[in-house]
Structure 1
Amino acid sequence: MNRQSLLRIAGFALAALLAAAPAAAQKKTLAVVVKGLDNPFFTVLGDGCAKWNKENPNSEYTCLYTGPASSADEAGEVQIVEDLINKGVAGIAISPSNAPAMAKMLKDKKPTMPIMTIDADLAAADRSLRTTYLGTNNYDMGVLMARHLKELKPKGGSVCLQLGNVAADNINARAAGFRDTIAGKKGVAKLAGEGGWSEVAGCPLFTNDQIDLANQQMADVFTKNPKLDAFILVGGWAQFGPQAYAQVTDQVMPKLKTKDLIIVAGDTLPPQLDALKGGRSHAQIGQRPFEMGYRAPTVLIDLINKKKVTDPMYTGLDECTPANLGKCPAK
């Protein structure tokens, strides 16, 4: 199915959602728009939105969780937000997949309802287009990934970073935090010996948030770089496909067990903690997507009521390793 077909389906689904139960109750819509409905991370975020609805049945507002069918459909996400603006929803929380493209649309549309970002932010130059950001301190997430790698491999070596969408501000911030920490200085575009670490040819990789592509990329890197010292999943894409991820890591399990090859990954969803328990990663740096989805409606209502809110609002990080696996992530 091509992108136009996916976009058409997403548009029909959005129209149906907006016209369904909320209309009968005359509820106002608080929209939470994610990069893609095919990403398990965002499913958890959507669960937070659903819990808010369950706990607030008498509210004049309802939380609508939506996004394009595919995380690769950056233009589709922009179109969904534009449609929501045109429909006059009460407020919108956006996780922009392509930050510059989303910013351009917001500049053109000049929405009158509150706009906030969630999970991923707009680029620094465009942040006046939203009122606040709710989610991870993504730079700090990259810092923690680097610290765990340095602890596990203090002498350095060769590394490959796996990123998501090229223009995703949150992913780029994590990569910057990782490189700055490894290098011991800011502004390193690609590691070339700084701190004893060098990125191998062909890296960083960009998954476009696609699970199958992420696993294929990992397999290719392991094959082409048999002496690779570290692989950093800046996001959890490959691990979101546990069967494929197990097959990919099977080819390097002896190296993982001896720590000749280190894997540090983002996020702590259940299949990822299973991977950690199985020795298929050495550290997982977790975000808190449920909290993001659960808090977003309340923040939007505060903005609608002209209340002052903090900017940014960070939801915290969890550091999960084999040593604390039974108590991680914190509940």
Structure 2
Amino acid sequence: MKKSLLLVAAAALALGAGPALAKKQLVIVVKGLDNPFFEAIHQGCEKWNSENASSEYECFYTGPASTSDEAGEAQIVQDMLGKADTAAIAISPSNAKLIAQTIKTANPSVPVMTLDADLAAEDAALRKTYLGTDNYLMGFKIGEYIKKAKPNGGTICTIEGNTGADNILRRAQGMRDALTGQKGIEALKGEGGWTEVAGCPVFTNDDGAKGVQAMTDILAANPKLDAFGIMGGWPLFGAPQPYRDLFKPYKDKIASNEFVIGAADTIGEEVAIAGEGLVTALVGQRPFEMGYKAPSVMIDLIEGKPVEDPVFTGLDECTKDTVATCIQK
């Protein structure tokens, strides 16, 4: 009898306790899970989770398997906005126009922000804020390094990512503006002494191997090329050894500024490559900080607190001479 009563009591306690309540999701959707840059955002998200274990919220990181899957990212955004436990969402749009249309169609009741990459200016009202790099400034700084190395100009090829990625387009615009001293030049045709060679810009879909192959082809067609402006570090962090193999013969020319490479990002093996003298300068973002800050910004939006727009996360600048101290700790 006593045993039966104990079993009944235990069952009652279990029923009374009920299942653990599921946490509300602070969703981060990135362009692709195959990119080390976004993995750094993931690590920032997980760091926030580890420091806020008792919170009613949880940072949830997701995205399509491949950075080139623009439709897949849009579908994930649509799915996440349709889930009852999604409390807010931060999106890095691979295709800004497609994501804007997805948001319009979903008509979400939860706060939407962008992370790392923004929507186009005309669609900015669809999100509450942008958290990440000042992409125009990033590209402008890359351009300044190239211009400092070759003040009289020359021939250049711009390496970009996805054709619809607003962050990359802004960087390219910033670089062109820095090189020319003018605003809004869409293609360099002698302005400031700079000309973009035929076939450029090259769009690589954020694929490192494709980027290295594109640069190989451009150099073969333009043996007197003066510079590359690489708007994302994909060739350096995505295919570091092929990149090294391609540019080791240019090491002396890079050292003397006869040949110039200005590139984005400071992740993976990029800083080591800078130390080896195989890139003129890197202008890097802070993806870990983006992933770490995003949950707190989303909670502020949920609670109706004032949030700045944009929220910039800063830049790091690395050259061969500064690799020991160039990254923010």
1:26-75 deviation per Cα after TM superposition (whole angstroms, max 9, x unaligned): 11111111000111111111100010001111010110111000000000
Deviation at 1:24, TM superposition (A): 4.7
Alignment correspondent of 2:185: 188
CA distance in 2, matches of 1:25, 1:260: 62
Q: In the alignment, does 2:167 pair up with 1:199?
A: no
Deviation string 1:263-286 (CA, Å, 9 cap, x unpaired) is: 110001140001100111010001
Aligned to 1:262: 260
1:26 matched to 2:22: yes
Q: Distance in 1 between matches of 2:287 and 2:189?
A: 34
Deviations 1:89-133 (A, max 9, x none): 111000000000000111111000110000000000001000000
Asked whether 1:218 is paired with 2:215, we answer yes
Distance in 1 (CA, whole Å) between partners of 2:317 and 2:60 is 31
- After superposition, the CA RMSD in angstroms is 1.2
Q: 1-side partners of 2:260 and 2:52: how far apart? A: 45
Partner SS, residue 82 of structure 2: helix
Is residue 63 from structure 1 mapped to residue 78 from structure 2 by the alignment? no
Answer yes or no: is 1:48 the counterpart of 2:44.
yes
Distance 2:20 2:253 in 1: 59
Match of 2:298 in 1: 300
Structure 2 match to 1:279? 277
Give the distance between the partners of 2:179 and 2:245, measured in 1 at CA.
Answer: 30
Amino acid across the alignment from 2:275: K
CA contact (8 A) 2:276 2:320 kept: no
Which residue among 129, 132, 140 is the counterpart of 1:132? 129
Q: What's 1:5 paired with?
A: none
Residues in 1 aligned to 2:62 and 2:268: alpha-carbon distance in whole angstroms: 23
Instruction: Determine which of 238, 242, 245 is the counterpart of 1:244.
Output: 242
Judge conservation of contact 2:204–2:211 (CA < 8 Å) in 1. yes
- Give the TM-score normalised by the residue count of structure 2: 0.92
Q: Does structure 1 conserve the Cα–Cα contact (< 8 Å) formed by 2:36 and 2:268?
A: no
Paired residue for 2:9? none
> Residue 28 of structure 2 aligns to a residue in which SS?
strand
Gaps of 5+ in 1: 1-22
Number of residues of Structure 1 aligned to a counterpart in Structure 2: 309
- Aligned pairs for 1:34-113 within 5 A: 34-88=30-84, 89-113=86-110
Q: Does 1:146 align with 2:143?
A: yes
Q: Which amino acid aligns with 2:254?
A: L
Look up the match of 2:173: 176
User: Displacement of 1:251 after TM fit?
Assistant: 4.3
Q: CA deviation at 1:25?
A: 4.4
Residue 235 of structure 1 aligns to which amino acid in structure 2?
A: G
* Secondary structure of 2:186's aligned partner: coil
5+ residue gaps, structure 2: 1-18
Q: Distance in 1 between matches of 2:232 and 2:121?
A: 21
1:325 counterpart SS class: coil
Q: In the alignment, is the contact (CA less than 8 A) between 2:274 and 2:280 conserved in 1? A: yes
SS in 2 for 1:161: strand
Which stretch shifts more, 85-94 or 249-258?
249-258
Matched with 1:18 is none
In structure 1, how many angstroms separate the alpha carbons of the residues matched to 2:220 and 2:277? Answer: 20
The corresponding residue for 1:13 is none
Pick which of 273-282 and 179-188 moved more: 179-188
**Distance in 1 (alpha carbons) for counterparts of 2:279 and 2:217:** 18
Deviation at residue 194 of structure 1 after TM alignment = 0.7
Cα offset, 1:258, TM superposition: 3.2
What secondary structure, in the 3-state scheme, does the structure 2 residue paired with 1:87 have?
coil
- Matched residue type, 1:121: D
Larger CA deviation: 296-305 vs 321-330: 321-330
Residue identity opposite 2:129 in structure 1: T
- Separation in 1 of the partners of 2:245 and 2:319? 21
Instruction: Please name the residue that 1:15 is paired with.
Output: none
SS in 1 for 2:177: helix
Q: Which runs of 4+ in 1 moved over 4 A?
A: none
* d(CA) in 2 for partners of 1:63, 1:24: 17
3-state SS of 1:252 partner: helix
Aligned partners of 2:157, 2:284: CA distance in 1, in Å?
Answer: 20
